[in-house]
Amino acid sequence: MTISSPANIADPYRDLLTGVSTARRKGIVALLSRGYYAGWRPTRDELARLIASPNNDGIRQQIAVHELRNELRQRGSADDREQEAR
């Protein structure tokens, strides 16, 4: 009987993550997860650059921009609903 690990957001990039330390891989998975909910969907090239980068500052900035856009969009929707209710 083979036991497989649960599906992971990084599965499509498994080949890019070969040879990456466990700690770095977990960090990249965390960034992908956070970015996903912020609307960030990296291309393979973007992720390859992220993996090759010694730090993730540029990626964190991209995710922060996506998070801010989502927050503003949600506020706008809430404002629109509030005005419709008046």
36-85 tens-digit pLDDT: 887 888 889 988 888 887 776 666 777 778 788 888 888 886 666 666 66
Task: Tally the domains of the chain.
Answer: 1
The answer to whether residue 30 is domain-embedded is: yes
The number of helix segments (H) and strand segments (E) in the chain equals 3, 0
The answer to whether residue 3 is domain-embedded is: no
Q: Which of 14-23, 25-34, 68-77 has the lowest mean pLDDT?
A: 68-77
- What does the block give as tokens for 54? 């010694």
- The model's pTM is 0.63
The answer to whether residue 77 is domain-embedded is: yes
User: What is the domain range of residue 46?
Assistant: 11-85
Q: Which one, of 74, 86, 19, lies nearest residue 52 by Cα? A: 19
